[in-house]
Structure 1
Amino acid sequence: MESDFKTLISFNLGNQIFAFDSLKVRNILPYEEGNVTKVPNTKDFILGVINLHGNIVPVTDLRVIMQIENWTNTRDTSIIVVSPEDKLESQFGIVVDFVKEVFEVGNDKIMPAAFQNGMGLIDTFEGTVQEKDEFIHMIDLMHVINQIESKNV
């Protein structure tokens, strides 16, 4: 039986707010450039890898994937480690400007995503939620993974 609500974690990329299923989150880490090991010959959105409890986790910059311009890393910049398939080997890190909050939203409050960005990523979004006068775009993590893999990382 499907629940009547979703628990989401929200975060900022540029001046926009995004969210995804909080049950997919494994860790939230501060982003420190020295902790990410660069990997040669990878795409610009792959920052490198980190060692998380003995597991090698690739780190991607969602700001680059979503074509967010003019961003800088701050002390609030974070890595959200997610596992979309609930397996250690499917973990990856997503760099975001800052993590905002975890909140619940009723399924009846989720509006369908009826737009696309310049990359043609219409399937990237599961929907949009209006929360406290802000629009929060819900990201489909599996679609983002497919987009990353299709770019011949």
Structure 2
Amino acid sequence: MLNKVDRSSEQADDTGKEFLVFTLANQEYGIDILKVQEIRGYDSQSVTRIANVPSFIKGVTNLRGVIVPIVDMRIKFNLENVEYNHQTVVVILNLASRVVGVVVDGVSDVLMLQPAQISAAPQFGTAFSTEYLTGIGTVGERMLILVDIEKLMTSTEMALVEQAALI
């Protein structure tokens, strides 16, 4: 299963921003669609485990000649362990410094959010440091935790992801 992300309508409205919506333990998260390279089904057999790395780094995989570290976001965010199933996917991110894959429970859609639909990030009650949050998006009754995925993936604690890719 290999899906290219359609970017033909990217940022169509200058005031809005598009987010890829993914789920982790029944909570919806949003990341900037411009950081997404592709979405692939998760196959643990294609991930090579690396010794002496944190548990949230599942290992590395070879994606068309590029060694890509794979990070399980459930483990990273200290969420309950969820079984891998047919909906589990790897979102391949193209960040400034490198390509990284993140394992999530599923991807639901792409949403355009206007500035009025985005509230400031709360300073409590999240599974990870709020420095990686850009805000809370609301669409009707839905609430999305908006994550600065580039900042999260390039943080000091994630430097091990870079090291894992070099092994």
Using the size of structure 2 for normalisation, the TM-score is 0.82
Paired AA for residue 56 in structure 1? I
The match for 2:24 among 13, 38, 55 is 13
The match for 1:137 among 130, 145, 156 is 145
Task: Give the C-alpha shift of residue 152 in structure 1.
Answer: 5.7
The match for 1:76 among 81, 87, 97 is 87
Moved over 4 A (4+): none
Unaligned runs of 5+ in 1: none
The equivalent residue for 1:36 is 47
Unaligned runs of 5+ in 2: 1-12, 161-167
Task: Give the C-alpha shift of residue 84 in structure 1.
Answer: 2.3
Paired AA for residue 21 in structure 1? D
The equivalent residue for 1:112 is 120
Q: How many residues align?
A: 147
Task: Give the C-alpha shift of residue 150 in structure 1.
Answer: 2.1
Offset from partner CA, 1:54-103 (integer Å, 9 cap, x none) = 10000001111111113111110000000122xxx611000000011011
The equivalent residue for 1:150 is 157
Instruction: Give the stretch that moved more between structures: 110-119 or 19-28.
Output: 110-119
The equivalent residue for 1:67 is 78
Is 1:53 aligned with 2:61?
no
Task: Give the C-alpha shift of residue 53 in structure 1.
Answer: 1.1
Using the size of structure 1 for normalisation, the TM-score is 0.89
The equivalent residue for 1:101 is 109
Paired AA for residue 157 in structure 2? S
